[in-house]
Chain A
Amino acid sequence: MSLTREDVTYVANLARLEFTPEEVTALIDKMGAVLDYAETLSKLDTSTVKATEHVLAVQNVFREDVPKPCLSNEQALANAPESEAGCFKVPRVME
């Protein structure tokens, strides 16, 4: 399994993380080790095996369509690092 710097940069961007060149090198190493270990999975023939997405055989769990009290604007924004005019605030987004 040869993970390249480009691979790591691509994934970092997808995950909205950034790393120094040294960290990228370390990541190639560490991620590579785990992925190598994961390569053992490829040796297993699972072509006839169904994937288990939920360990429990639960299905059809629903909620009634009945409104319940919401948080107030103050409560919703209580933990916000930056807010303005009752809204969460981020740098200018071009749409």
Chain B
Amino acid sequence: MEYEMVIGMEIHVELGTKTKIFCSCPTKFGQEENTHTCPICLGMPGVLPVLNEKVVEYATRAGLALNCEIAHFSKMDRKNYFYPDLPKAYQTSQFDLPICTGGVVEIEVDGVKKDIGITRIHIEEDAGKLLHESADGTLIDVNRCGVPLVEIVTEPDLRSAEEARTFAEKVRNIMEYTDVSDCKMQEGSMRFDVNISMREKGATVLGTRTEMKNLNSFRALIRAVQYESKRQIVELKKGHKIIQETRKWDDTKGASASLRSKEEAQDYRYFPEPDLVPIVIEKEYIEKIKRELPELPEAKKQRYIDEYKLPEYDAGVLTATGVTARFFEEAVVLYDEPKQISNWIMVEIPPLLKEKELTMENIPIAPVQLAELLKLVKESVINGTSGKEVLKEMFNTGKNPGEIVKEKGLAQMSDTAELEAIIEKIVSDNPKSVEDIGTGNEKAYGFLTGKVMKETKGKANPQVANKIIREVVAKHLG
């Protein structure tokens, strides 16, 4: 019996607004515990929420970027349950009239394109954090309470871990491009819930599904899906029924475990939020947001292929994040060699970033500096090898390439007279090599070139040097 897995996802994305959804506390991540709170997000008696206008804007943007319908009329509702990270003991969310419905995202896995349906996107607030550092209890940090979220709910259209990951990456890409969220998974600004069920291949009825919540990396997503699908198959083959439940994914153990105790009393008693008024969105507003949408990843990638004549691979890497794409585009304006810039961004820059534990987001050099560096190489002021050295120095000091070349005296030796003198000496000192070349051994040229580079401390202009070496050797050969 062959099984197929059916997956639906709920992606929680923290919106990159400056303040929380219902109060004016800043949303900055990583602050000292309980220093970004106020009576409202603390859920004190008598306080009232007021909706952040940017939340509606960002949610609309997210919806349009995912091809959704934006609701003309939507409202907030209360989802009631008790948990220590929820100060009001209800989460203000959207139940039956969410801000967006009916979208679609196209993914491509193994060359096969497929549409993944978005059922809905709704606005809600994040809960606080529980810290387990106390010897005899659990500590609560309320800073994150009230940070605005959108929840993106998909149709059960995904059929493999790879599809799930590809889809999640694409959504992340789009959210980052449209500036809706910084999507920093390590900071929890994007989290995944997956629902998985198994069924016989070809069947139309859905099997019983289990849910795993708050997966916070693509790796966890893939592993969780793979594990759970296998676990369910094992159970089904034994003749057991799958229990509909929430399971906890433990990434260190690489296994999911039943969270049955959390299942009881999931009666959320949704009702319309009386303290907030409905959100009415007019066509003009939607049109305006649509006009202001930046070029999305798919379109940008295609444009890089068409306009810059870049290979698909390059276009893919450069458009992987909006930050990288913007850096590339700025550099290209200043130095019209897209492939070169692409090479340096794809190959030379990443190891330097990694070494300093930085990302493209906080790269210590500016596009104009990269452009300047590449111009210096093109104009043969320095050679490629020196160029890499200069780049490293730029990362370390933030100085401009021209400055560094001057300071370190890295300017390429292209002066023929100077080089001739050096090469003449080396060729004269290595008669054996000249003899080898005379007998047809071209490899000896490499040896000579090496010596020249060593003598000039790598600054000899390779093309000029090689030309002169051949001339001198030829002369010695008679």
Contact = CB atoms under 8 A, between A and B. Distances in A.
A–B: direct contact at CB < 8 Å: yes
A9 B141 CA distance: 32
Given A71-B37, A73-B34, A85-B133, A65 B52 contact: yes
Nearest to A85: B139
Interface in A4-35: 10, 13-14, 16
B32 A73 contact: yes
Contact of B18 (A66, A86, A89, A95): A66
B136 interface: yes
Contacts of B51: 61-63
Interface stretch (B275-283, B397-405, B419-427): B275-283
B82 interface: yes
Interface residues of A, number: 37
22 contacts: A10-B265, A14-B265, A53-B274, A59-B277, A59-B278, A59-B279, A60-B279, A60-B280, A66-B18, A70-B36, A70-B37, A71-B37, A71-B38, A73-B34, A85-B134, A87-B34, A88-B139, A92-B136, A93-B132, A93-B138, A94-B261, A95-B130
Interface in B35-84: 35-39, 42, 50-54, 56, 75, 82, 84
Chain B: number of interface residues, binned into ranges: 35 or more
B134 A84 contact: yes
Contacts of A66: 18-19, 24
B50 A62 contact: yes
B272 interface: yes
Given A60-B279, A82-B137, 5 more contacts: A59-B280, A67-B25, A70-B26, A85-B133, A88-B139
Contacts of A91: 137-138
Interface string A30-67: 00000000000000000000000110101111111111
A67 B138 contact: no
B131 interface: yes
Given A54-B278, A77-B34, A89-B139, A65 B54 contact: yes
B269 to A, nearest CB: 8
A61 B277 contact: yes
Contacts of B140: 87-90
Contacts of A94: 261
Nearest to B24: A68
Contacts of A93: 84, 130, 132, 138
A14 B80 CA distance: 9
B40 to A, nearest CB: 10
Interface of A: 10, 13-14, 16, 53-54, 56, 58-68, 70-73, 76-77, 82, 84-95
Closest 9 A-B residue pairs measured CB to CB? A87-B139, A62-B53, A68-B24, A65-B54, A88-B140, A93-B138, A63-B50, A53-B272, A67-B26
A91 B140 CA distance: 11
A89 B134 contact: yes
A14 B267 contact: yes
Contact of B53 (A64, A90, A95): A64
- Does more than half of chain B's interface fall in helix, strand or loop, or is it mixed? loop
B415 interface: no
A72 B130 CA distance: 19
B33 interface: yes
Which of A54, A86, A87 has the most chain B CB atoms inside 10 A of its CB?
A87
B142 interface: yes
Nearest to B87: A88
Interface in B126-181: 130-134, 136-142
B412 interface: no
B35 A73 contact: yes
A87 B33 contact: yes
Contact of A89 (B138, B272, B274): B138
Given A14-B267, A70-B37, A53 B75 contact: yes
Nearest to A86: B33
A56 B277 CA distance: 9
Interface string B5-37: 000000000000111000011100000111111
A13 B138 contact: no
Contact of A70 (B38, B75, B267): B38
Contact of A63 (B52, B248, B261): B52
A68 B41 CA distance: 13
A72 to B, nearest CB: 7
Contacts of B261: 94
B54 to A, nearest CB: 4
B137 A90 contact: yes
A67 B19 contact: yes
A60 B75 CA distance: 10
A33 to B, nearest CB: 22
A74 to B, nearest CB: 9
Contacts of B26: 67, 70
A11 to B, nearest CB: 9
B53 A63 contact: yes
A76 B136 contact: no
A70 B137 contact: no
Given A54-B278, A59-B280, A67-B19, A86 B34 contact: yes
Contacts of B136: 92
